[in-house]
Amino acid sequence: MKFFVDTADVNEIRELNDLGLVDGVTTNPSLILKSGRAILEVTKEICGIVEGPVSAEVAATDYETIMKEAAVIAKIADNICIKLPLTLDGLKACKNLVSDGHKTNVTLCFSANQALLAAKAGATFVSPFIGRLDDIAIDGMDLIREIRQIFDNYGFETEILAASARTVNHIKEAALIGADVVTAPPATLKALVKHPLTEAGLATFLADWAKTGQKIG
């Protein structure tokens, strides 16, 4: 499973990338707002930090303007991935951008039928939003399961990018189902390492080691 980090904060991306935990980055207009930076400038910087795909989202909703914005975003770097809304105009743009050799991420997916459309449009990634479904008392994991089955039934190559993952259990369940990628905030990715028995065990080993009076090397 690939790990993408869901942030436009370059310091956090750098830290996780140095830990070897970043296979790509996802951003969205809300994350750009939170970063306080200009989209083209911050996205270019992110593309220089990580080797994998960096999703940057268009702001337009009509096909013509989506394509104009996509052309600007595409020039940022070779590892850019153009993020498009799951609408008819977004899907049309996806099909044409993929034909032109661009990577695409179709976002705001909340149903298996929407994911099917993204796959038929040739999207590189489709982003079903787990957490936002959970917010309205619908199990987001059921959606990941349905999409996995549909894509496997037909051999679609579009990767399932489990998005809006907010807890370590979201990541574990998405991995068990077989999502290709998960994107999560930096704190959630870092929290994967935590286990109370690891912490307690390490504390005991360190205390006993100090009692031996030994040094290694």
Q: Rounded to whole angstroms, how far apart are CA atoms 107 and 126?
A: 6
The piece of 43-51, 94-102, 118-126, 127-135 that touches ligand E4P (CB under 6 A) is 127-135
- Toward ligand E4P, which CB reaches closer, 23 or 155? 23
- Which of 83, 95, 190, 194 is the catalytic position? 83
Kindly give, in sequence order, each residue whose CB lies less than 8 Å from that of residue 117, ignoring residues fewer than 6 positions away: 86, 91
Residue 35, interface with ligand E4P (CB under 6 A)?
no
Give the number of other CB atoms < 10 A from CB of residue 160: 27
Q: Rounded to whole angstroms, how far apart are CA atoms 115 and 212?
A: 59
- Helical axes 140-154 vs 112-120, angle rounded to 10°: 40
Minimal CB distance residue for ligand E4P: 164
Which tokens sit at 215?
């040094």
In the complex, minimum distance from the CB of residue 152 to ligand E4P, in angstroms, rounded to a whole number: 23
- According to CB under 6 A, which one of 124, 158, 183, 188 is a site residue for ligand E4P? 183
44 catalytic per annotation: no
Greatest Cα pair distance, the chain, in angstroms, is: 72
88-117 binders of ligand E4P (CB under 6 A) = 107
Task: Kindly list the residues in this chain that would bind ligand E4P in the complex (CB under 6 A).
Answer: 6, 26, 28, 107, 127, 129, 131-132, 163-164, 166, 183
Q: Which residues are catalytic?
A: 83
